[in-house]
Structure 1
């Protein structure tokens, strides 16, 4: 049966190992990974892409665990003060790096907004909830813009086709998929009644091609 002293020594040894693990796994990586390539700062656009790149960046530095871990604490009397202090300081250092990598990945305006968050978990979760919701709203807006687009005879058809293609490009950039054949049919269907003969010609040509295949 372990005596209280042995139990405390065991916890101390475990804590020292944990401290060593933090220092050995984080600090050397920070020293050796090149900082030449930096993430573009997030400024409310393409959050999902930025988030995935930031997560990879933090994982590369072995700091991703600090996005979900609560602040490190030690109960009084579990270990000696020196060991406890050193372990806590090692955790705080890595937590500080994680927090500032995220904040420095934000635009100046967003930095001011999110720097008030007290923990990395709160910071990361706040960004996730706010901008994933905004991404969804933007996707719905783009889809509606595409569906409701109406061609008119008062504008050049070529210019209007280019407008539709720009909307499609924005939709694809948001990670949504529109197969090419659907894009073509959608554009044909949006031609005005003045182009009915041409629309029928294109549809007939498309059917002939499909039958041949």
Structure 2
């Protein structure tokens, strides 16, 4: 209707078609209409016909193709308008019982903005007022507080413990502040979680780097141990005596018996220590005994 009003053609939906002029009634009788009246009537009829044509075709042009054949047979725009109103205007949805049921069963959810849901309740309240079912503001405020979602339980209890009466505008302001605070806390929590994940990834990469270094160090140490193993030439040229047996040519870490663990001190000329090397190396099988002797063999015949 607003669109048709801006186009200055909505009068064909509310007014009747212009009737022809009847002339002027006098004591002598009815005089025929003057030429001026006839010209004015023709102008009005022409304007009406143009508006009727435009309005009817606006309706037909806006219809779906499946409905065009049905409504194209209706001769006037006013009849098309009335038929569309009867068919598509849901008067049941505008009834009082439906609006009351909609207000009572309305429930707020966390997935939508609370302020937008409060606006929906205000729209329903306005519909009730239009239908003649006036609701006091205190009842509307209490209903909105009771319809808050379960996640707003603490805020709901806070509002119920307030002693002063609140208007609907004050309640909306408090809800807006609470919702903004919740959104800010959610943003802060997400930023903290993101930074924690970033630090965790950095630590994991650092741990991998350290592990890599440790593996490389162990490889280098194994190489060093191999390269610094019992070299025969170094042993012969080494002037430092062995810590275990006291002889030159080898180091204490390659000696079979450590200090304090016993050994053949009489043959080796080392420090006296407890234990019997013969008993420690004795086995029942001669083959195994030979194997032990071979493992203790050195190239220097004197040693």
Structure with bigger gyration radius: 2
Q: Which has the higher helix share?
A: 1
TM-score, with normalisation over the residues of structure 1?
0.42
User: Structure with the greater relative contact order (CA < 8 A, sep ≥ 6): 1 or 2?
Assistant: 1
